[in-house]
Amino acid sequence: MEILPRYNPKQVEPKILKSWLENGFFKAKITAKAKPFSIVIPPPNVTGILHMGHALNNTIQDVLIRYQRLKGSSVLWMPGTDHAGIATQNVVEKKLAKQGKNRKSLGRDNFLEEVWKWRDEYGTTIISQLEKLGASCDWERLRFTMDEAYSQAVTRVFVQLWRKKLIYQGNYIINWCPRCQTALSDEEAPRQEKEGFLYYIKYRLKNSDQFITVATTRPETMLGDVAVAVNPQDLRYQSFWGKTLILPLVEREVPLIKDKLVDSQFGTGAVKVTPAHDLADFQMASRCKELTPVLVMNPDATMNENAGVYQGMDRFQAREAIVESLKKLDLLEKIEPHSLAVGHCYRCNTIIEPYLSRQWFVRMKPLAKPAIKAVKKGDIKFYPQRWTKVYLNWMENIRDWCISRQIWWGHRIPVYYCRDCRKEVIASETKPEKCRFCKSTNLEQDQDVLDTWFSSWLWPFATFGWPFESSPVASCQLPVDIKKKKKEFEYFYPTSVLVTAPEIIFFWVARMIMAGFEFTGKLPFKDIYIHGTVRDKTGKKMSKSLGNTIDPLEVIEDFGADALRFSIILCAASGSDVYLSNERFLVGRNFSNKIWNAARFILLKIESLGIEIADFDFTQLADSEKWIIAELNQTVAAVSAHLDSFRLNEAAKEVYDFFWHDFCDWYIEIIKDDFSGTQAKVSLYILQESLKLLHPFMPFISEEIFGLIKKNTALTLPPALVVSAWPQCRKKIEPREIETFKALIKTVAEIRNIKAILGLSSRRLDLAIRTDSDHLQFLEANKIWLRRLTLADEVKFKDKNQGEDLTRVLYDNGLWQIDLDAGNISPESFVAVLDKKIQAKEAVAGKIKARLASQQFRKNAGSEKIAEEEFRLKDLQAELDRLEGLKDAYQ
């Protein structure tokens, strides 16, 4: 057998991945006796390429999934991608632009064909990247939000809500990009801080010389003013209440209204109300029924017919012209510099125009009710808990959801109009044949497309093939295996846990909960694990535009997927943000190598000694074996507990510490020079169980080593680690000798350290240890290890009861006596160092003693804690005795 001393993930990972896929280990099946455990992946955008956020999100899910799989749950991890309306449309438009084409010249159908072509070609990039990461999704179930069946669910939902009168059409201010001629969501119109001006304009009172000054940053919109508003608490304007003002330039009469939205501290405390071009104004105006918005711009942001003499001017030209006119009329009081945050088109950086237009909405209040209740009752739980409040706060103040988008790529709104009589407006899963009123067949479908989230919010059940009842008018063919799908749905839904980022609690998580209740009558998932945001080491969000990204694929290339996974989990404390830098991945890489070499040692040793291992036999264990098994038991319990409560980082750390510091540093070192059959079996057993513990975090290397064990021993093992079983705690084993042995080594190390502190060479320490025959055997067996630690040329062991004095007993704790060549240490300084240590320990011991002496402590702490404290004190006391003994022996 040949195993290289350095782990090479590049050779291992693709091979292992292939074998997992070929064997279908990730396939989900209904297993009657097993507990179902399911997760739906937060579908990445089809345009996506794997970034650290994905890596974190999917590693967490994979850890949970692999853990549950090992624990014997029937596991389903449902993968898929999101059509990501605007993002995808943009990508394709950009591609077309390079070919000198644009979507308008192509027309809707041709353009959509281009998008589909693009998606077929590039849409699986992210999927293969997730595979590389080791994500054990049931890939054969891969779903896409634009799949035929999925689209059917979307349409069904729209029609259902429409029939329940929960969908309506209304006017709303949207972010409009005049260059791209499309509406943008708030996320697509990021605000940028801009230096601008605040213009103070006088509005005259009707039939009076008095005036009110209003402040605005956008004078050109004043042409669309329909009122002036002040705060009802603002008594400065009390005399104007109920009066009418004259809008300058256009000479329109506008009322003065009171609205608590107005901040009396800002500007003059009076604000012009332009409902067609400002969201806040729109909301104010909609509270006063008699105010009708006046639109003053065309979609290309030139002024329209309502702008009078300014018609045809660009909005910024108009601004200048209007300011000039106002100046001439002496209606401009002053201009102040003012910085403000303006939305910019994320694609072309054009300044967004808030624009009044007709959009589709979902009435959210009724949907929110059960979703609020479920979280309040604790049927759905957030981890960490604090997000509960964020969620509830939003849900209780929920506003209607604007679901229409003026783009082409997406689910087209299933609403049909009659071109002839203009009366028919109907939502339908299929195109109606004729108009109900005039019988015309000249029907047309709404041009708009649904918000991407309107399909994503169905993800937890639409991915299962919901709705299972076919629509009486459904035109698309229903899947044949619909019964099977329904069964799977009933088995796996509600899903177990949702793993996602805080940014989309509102967009996605909350809406999925609402959809779950509305359409399936059940909650969509029981637990919600919200992980942190990935940031660079200075705390900035990782983003392409900042150029501070670390490419997970590069990390995989350099260190391996396991190293990436382990490192990222380790620094993702539950729910806190993840700060990353390249060095952080060294932890994972180094650990991979450590695991590799431990396995290498054990396997090569077994081979070279020709030990045949067919099964484990745990009778006749020595103390070192008992000890490591006990440590393993403890680790299994701790890791399970941590994973059960989503403390993945703690779990990972537990495995790391056990494997490295207990198993490698102590156990393997102890047995390495006395590697017999028992040691072989036990070390192999520990290795094998450790691999299971490691597997959720580091699936590739653990699987590879498992394969090596399978190949090189006669053990009967499951086909692969991924489908083996989570370790079970063996009967409790109390190790006896190992702790005293560790204490002995500590003592020796201490002497060596003191020598080093004193500036003496600690390089070599020859020593003799005299002890009773019980311990002697054990020490003899572990002599090499002791020598290695002490770097002594020779360690002599003597039986205490067999006479033969040591020349100089430096230390005697009853168990053993140590004699070493400390002759060159000056007694004063040696004792001084010891005294310092003793003092520190005594202080602590004093504290614990005081605690134990306190009546209150005894009353409140409980017997377990008291025992713990007593044990600690005893431990400390022994330590003190040891140090005192050392001191006495030396003096």
Partner RNA sequence: GGGCGAUUAGCUCAGUUGGCUAGAGUGUUUCCUUGACAUGGAAAAGGUCACAGGUUCAAGUCCUGUAUCGCCCACCA
The answer to whether the beta carbons of residues 477 and 534 sit under 8 Å apart is: no
Nearest 5°: the CA angle 183, 393, 569 is: 85
The answer to whether the beta carbons of residues 308 and 223 sit under 8 Å apart is: yes
Nearer to RNA, 157 or 638 (CB): 638
- The only residue of 2, 195, 583, 794 in contact with RNA, by rule CB under 7 A: 583
- The only residue of 320, 774, 805, 868 in contact with RNA, by rule CB under 7 A: 868
- The only residue of 477, 824, 856, 863 in contact with RNA, by rule CB under 7 A: 856
Provide the mask over 14-43, with x wherever binding to RNA is found by CB under 7 A and - wherever it is not. ------------------------------
**CB neighbour burial string for 85-103, b if at least 16 within 10 angstroms, e if fewer:** bbbbbbbbbeebeeeeeeb
Shortest distance in whole angstroms from residue 117 CB to RNA? 34
The rounded distance, in Å, linking the Cα atoms of 692 and 66 is: 10
Residue whose C-alpha is closest to residue 9's, from 607, 703, 551, 658: 703
Nearer to RNA, 565 or 589 (CB): 589
Provide the mask over 394-413, with x wherever binding to RNA is found by CB under 7 A and - wherever it is not. x-------------------
- The only residue of 421, 789, 809, 889 in contact with RNA, by rule CB under 7 A: 789
Residue whose C-alpha is closest to residue 56's, from 509, 505, 527, 575: 575
Nearer to RNA, 163 or 389 (CB): 389
Phi then psi dihedrals of residue 233, to 5 deg: -85, -10
- The only residue of 1, 97, 348, 586 in contact with RNA, by rule CB under 7 A: 586
- The only residue of 60, 215, 556, 738 in contact with RNA, by rule CB under 7 A: 215
Helix 561-570 × helix 699-712 angle, to 10°: 130
Nearer to RNA, 92 or 332 (CB): 332
Residue whose C-alpha is closest to residue 511's, from 386, 394, 378, 382: 394
- The only residue of 102, 210, 445, 860 in contact with RNA, by rule CB under 7 A: 860
Count of all residues that appear for the chain in the document: 891
Nearer to RNA, 92 or 572 (CB): 572
Pick out residues in 217-236 that bind RNA (CB under 7 A).
217-218
Contact status: 551 vs RNA (CB under 7 A) = no
Nearer to RNA, 111 or 666 (CB): 666
Pick out residues in 594-623 that bind RNA (CB under 7 A).
594, 597-598, 600-601, 604-605
Nearer to RNA, 97 or 341 (CB): 341
- The only residue of 593, 635, 747, 771 in contact with RNA, by rule CB under 7 A: 593
The answer to whether the beta carbons of residues 460 and 516 sit under 8 Å apart is: yes
What dihedral angle (degrees, nearest 10) is formed by the CA atoms of 850, 852, 853, 857? 100
Helix 85-98 × helix 108-122 angle, to 10°: 100
- The only residue of 116, 417, 468, 660 in contact with RNA, by rule CB under 7 A: 660
- The only residue of 329, 609, 614, 791 in contact with RNA, by rule CB under 7 A: 791
Phi then psi dihedrals of residue 616, to 5 deg: -90, 145
Nearer to RNA, 334 or 847 (CB): 847
Shortest distance in whole angstroms from residue 668 CB to RNA? 4
Provide the mask over 248-287, with x wherever binding to RNA is found by CB under 7 A and - wherever it is not. -------------xxxxxxx-x-xx-----xxx--x----
- The only residue of 242, 378, 472, 539 in contact with RNA, by rule CB under 7 A: 539
**Cα separation values, 714 from 89, 199, 727, Å:** 57, 86, 20
Element (H, E) at 322: helix 315-328
Contact status: 783 vs RNA (CB under 7 A) = no
The answer to whether the beta carbons of residues 841 and 869 sit under 8 Å apart is: no
Shortest distance in whole angstroms from residue 415 CB to RNA? 26
Q: Which residue is listed with tokens 């650290």?
A: 52
Pick out residues in 367-386 that bind RNA (CB under 7 A).
386
Candidates 439-447, 482-490, 586-594, 820-828: pick the segment binding RNA (CB under 7 A): 586-594
Phi then psi dihedrals of residue 580, to 5 deg: -125, 145
Shortest distance in whole angstroms from residue 378 CB to RNA? 17
Q: Which residue is listed with tokens 């393993």?
A: 632
Candidates 42-50, 119-127, 500-508, 724-732: pick the segment binding RNA (CB under 7 A): 500-508
Nearer to RNA, 478 or 852 (CB): 852
Nearer to RNA, 265 or 807 (CB): 265
DSSP state of 508: I
Pick out residues in 127-156 that bind RNA (CB under 7 A).
none
Write the burial class of residue 717 (CB in 10 Å: 0-12 exposed, 13-18 middle, 19+ buried): middle
Q: Which residue is listed with tokens 């750390």?
A: 653
The rounded distance, in Å, linking the Cα atoms of 838 and 829 is: 14
Contact status: 341 vs RNA (CB under 7 A) = yes
Candidates 102-110, 316-324, 473-481, 844-852: pick the segment binding RNA (CB under 7 A): 844-852
Pick out residues in 716-755 that bind RNA (CB under 7 A).
746, 749, 752-753
Candidates 359-367, 372-380, 824-832, 851-859: pick the segment binding RNA (CB under 7 A): 851-859
Nearer to RNA, 309 or 587 (CB): 587
- The only residue of 649, 683, 702, 747 in contact with RNA, by rule CB under 7 A: 649
The rounded distance, in Å, linking the Cα atoms of 296 and 274 is: 10
Nearer to RNA, 34 or 573 (CB): 573
Which residues are within 8 A (CB) of 619 and not within 5 positions of it... i.e. 6 or more apart? none
Candidates 236-244, 298-306, 757-765, 823-831: pick the segment binding RNA (CB under 7 A): 757-765
Candidates 83-91, 246-254, 319-327, 846-854: pick the segment binding RNA (CB under 7 A): 846-854
Contact status: 659 vs RNA (CB under 7 A) = no
- The only residue of 402, 587, 708, 781 in contact with RNA, by rule CB under 7 A: 587
Task: Report how far Cα 41 is from the mean position of its chain's Cα atoms.
Answer: 12
Pick out residues in 279-338 that bind RNA (CB under 7 A).
279-280, 283
The answer to whether the beta carbons of residues 568 and 58 sit under 8 Å apart is: no
- The only residue of 430, 762, 813, 829 in contact with RNA, by rule CB under 7 A: 762
The rounded distance, in Å, linking the Cα atoms of 625 and 686 is: 10
The rounded distance, in Å, linking the Cα atoms of 481 and 206 is: 74
**Cα separation values, 263 from 233, 260, 397, Å:** 10, 7, 21
Pick out residues in 154-213 that bind RNA (CB under 7 A).
186
Contact status: 872 vs RNA (CB under 7 A) = yes
Shortest distance in whole angstroms from residue 640 CB to RNA? 12
Q: How many CB atoms lie within 10 A of CB 727?
A: 22
Nearer to RNA, 489 or 857 (CB): 857
Candidates 48-56, 304-312, 517-525, 572-580: pick the segment binding RNA (CB under 7 A): 572-580
The rounded distance, in Å, linking the Cα atoms of 832 and 890 is: 12
Provide the mask over 467-496, with x wherever binding to RNA is found by CB under 7 A and - wherever it is not. ------------------------------
Give me the long-range contacts of 203-207 (CB less than 8 A, separation at least 24): 203/228, 203/245, 203/246, 203/247, 203/248, 203/254, 203/270, 203/272, 204/245, 204/246, 204/248, 205/240, 205/243, 205/244, 205/245, 205/246, 206/243, 206/244, 206/245, 206/246, 206/253
- The only residue of 192, 349, 442, 645 in contact with RNA, by rule CB under 7 A: 645
- Count of residues near RNA by CB under 7 A: 98
